[in-house]
A and B are shown apart, each in its own frame.
Chain A
């Protein structure tokens, strides 16, 4: 089945530093990548949507200069949390939509395994 590899699975960083999270589609081409944020015991909140080769579209209230998204290829999208602060600590998850007839449907959306970010 389709696999989205997300790295790192967890990261601890100091306040003020930047952290990059990668999501790679291993066996399909991801035309669209969705980035979510999940606080403990809460639901997934969509942060932004990125299409390959285009600028990401951010949801209301999400700082685009703080959460930089790059989707330069059909197999790789990155989320960089810049100047991280403790309130950015969260679980970040990507979800990919592909180009095939199945992967292009909503049933074909595939989630990465998530990244636990802790800012100290």
Chain B
């Protein structure tokens, strides 16, 4: 059973456009929701993370929107650039277990 569901599987965006990736979860015990960026042949790197006590977190061009009642969260990449082309994973964890459950990933291609 997949703990975190992610969509879309792939995304093509024009340079300067907005990229939106969505994730949904069921376990209400999750209290930490990070997004990771992974380039081919590399390990994931933390991009931005949010906790359920806030509805939005912004860092530069990257914003997480969090809807606790709907158990959904999303990543918005504003002014998308070709250098943003990568695979993005959402994840979730509980405090007690301290391990991550990853979404299935979204391959983003930003066209120049």
Contact = CB atoms under 8 A, between A and B. Distances in A.
B43 A112 contact: yes
Interface stretch (B44-52, B61-69, B71-79): B44-52
Size range of the chain B interface in the assembly: 20 to 34
A67 interface: no
B104 A34 contact: no
Between A95, A111, A112, A116, the greatest number of chain B beta carbons within 10 A of the residue's beta carbon is seen for: A111
A59 to B, nearest CB: 9
A44 B46 contact: no
A97 B104 CA distance: 23
A93 B36 CA distance: 14
A93 B43 contact: yes
A103 interface: no
A113 B107 CA distance: 18
Interface residues of A, number: 23
B49 A44 contact: no
Contacts of B107: 41
A114 B42 contact: yes
B25 interface: no
A95 B89 CA distance: 15
Interface string A18-34: 00000000000000001
A106 B44 contact: no
Interface string A38-67: 000111111001000000000000000000
B75 to A, nearest CB: 15
A106 B41 contact: no
A4 B107 CA distance: 24
A87 interface: no
Contact of A42 (B45, B99, B104): B104
Given A93-B44, A106-B49, A114-B42, 11 more contacts: A34-B99, A34-B100, A41-B107, A42-B105, A43-B102, A44-B89, A46-B100, A106-B98, A107-B49, A109-B100, A111-B44
Q: Which 6 A-B pairs have the closest CB atoms?
A: A111-B43, A43-B102, A44-B102, A43-B104, A114-B43, A113-B43
